[in-house]
Structure 1
Amino acid sequence: MARSSLILLLLSLPYISCEATSPVAASNFIKASCMGTKYPALCIQSLAAFAPSIQQSPRQLAETALSVSLDRARDTQAFVSKMKKFRGLKKREYEAIQDCMEEMSEGVDRLSKSVQELKHMGEGKGQDFLWHVSNVETWASAALTDENTCFDGFAGKGMDGKIKASIRARVINVAQVTSNALSLVNQFASKQ
């Protein structure tokens, strides 16, 4: 009887293994997790390509979401930096771009710390786990504030134009992806 149970267990392992790593299961996990975020369609779109590495791991999902946010923040920081070199900028536009660059730089730094903290926190439990997660949440929240603050200098009608619109679109995207990442970090923390 023990031998037949062992054989049955061994035969079922490949099925269990395939089920856990199937692309459909990973994709469904991402979709279900993203439904708890503020921007679910963007969440799914930004994370779908990473389904093979995420599989069904809340931790890997949170880590990937933070990494995506960091990559987009870096891209936006580089874009804003290029805008500073645009000819014909008004003084106020230049100053707003400069301020935005500083805010994006701080946001990139904080997101980078969040990614590293989540990657290196190990399998901590109890208070140790909560301390690490608190750090991640604090830095990701501060990055979200930095991203939102980046655009404050462009307020007012005198600042309307293509530069403002271009920067705004990118900053909003980064802020939304960061908001989603923070939500997924919170989901991960609540399951521990």
Structure 2
Amino acid sequence: MARLTLPLLLILLSILHIATTAQSTSTVPKRSGATDFIKASCRTTRYPALCVQSLSVFATAIQRSSRQLAHTALSVSLSRARSATVFVSKMARIKGMKGREYEAVKDCVDNMGDSVDRLSRSLRELGHMGGAGGQDFMWHISNVQTWVSAALTDESTCVDGFAGRAMDGRVKASIKGRVVNVAQVTSNALALVNHFAAKH
């Protein structure tokens, strides 16, 4: 096998460096443009910092699509709602809870189950829309808005169940922390769905 001379090796290395630099710089504007789009869109939400933090990791998939942004926001909300539902279900099995606390946890499991169901339906509905326009678009988007709003109500109802001093404690704090986060990402998802709807 022929040995590479030093000048030839230097030429090859500089060609390789130019090629990789060109490739990396071509992807940077694409991603930063998508991130700027996400940041601008998140300004329409109630929790913009959380919105950017939870969605910017999906910038490459979202690009500058309002529809893809709404779809991703709903996916994030559904994923967190499912995780919170599993967590609350485990909390319901803790021994030694007071009667009222146990009832609140049980009700929260039901509420979060309903929230997961409604977010799943809204995500499917958005996925089925295809190139729907006019009356068809309005009908589909109205269904999505209704179900996401209902999911947000379910999450708020769960949190409200832990109101009052009698409910203070570890269980209340850990469940509230999880569910409030879900409610915030769901609120953001609804704002982004509304933003997408307004563009049509």
Residue by residue over 1:37-80, the C-alpha shift from the partner in whole angstroms, topping out at 9 and shown as x without a partner, is 00000000000110010011000000000000000000000000
Tell me how large the CA RMSD over aligned residues is: 1.3
Question: Could you say which residue in structure 2 is the equivalent of 1:82?
Answer: 90
Of residues 157, 164, 188, the one that matches 2:196 is 188
Question: Could you say which residue in structure 2 is the equivalent of 1:36?
Answer: 44
Question: Could you say which residue in structure 2 is the equivalent of 1:24?
Answer: 32
Question: Could you say which residue in structure 2 is the equivalent of 1:3?
Answer: none
Of residues 55, 60, 64, the one that matches 1:52 is 60
TM alignment of 1:160-179, pairs within 5 A: 160-179=168-187
TM alignment of 1:27-176, pairs within 5 A: 27-176=35-184
Return the offset for 1:86: 1.2
CA distance in 2, matches of 1:154, 1:36: 30
CA distance in 1, matches of 2:76, 2:168: 29
CA distance in 1, matches of 2:29, 2:103: 50
SS at structure 1 position matched to 2:143: helix
Question: Could you say which residue in structure 1 is the equivalent of 2:11?
Answer: none
The TM-score, its normalising length taken from structure 1, stands at 0.88
CA distance in 2, matches of 1:81, 1:142: 21
Question: Could you say which residue in structure 1 is the equivalent of 2:17?
Answer: none
The runs of 5 or more residues in structure 2 that have no matched partner are 1-25
The runs of 5 or more residues in structure 1 that have no matched partner are 1-17
Asked if 2 retains the 8 angstrom alpha-carbon contact of 1:19 and 1:25, the reply is no
CA distance in 2, matches of 1:185, 1:173: 18
Aligned amino acid, residue 74 of structure 1: R
Aligned amino acid, residue 165 of structure 2: K
CA distance in 1, matches of 2:61, 2:86: 27
CA distance in 1, matches of 2:177, 2:116: 17
SS at structure 2 position matched to 1:22: helix
Return the offset for 1:146: 0.3
CA distance in 1, matches of 2:28, 2:136: 29
Aligned amino acid, residue 181 of structure 1: A
**Seq. identity, %:** 63
Return the offset for 1:152: 2.1
Asked if 2 retains the 8 angstrom alpha-carbon contact of 1:76 and 1:170, the reply is yes
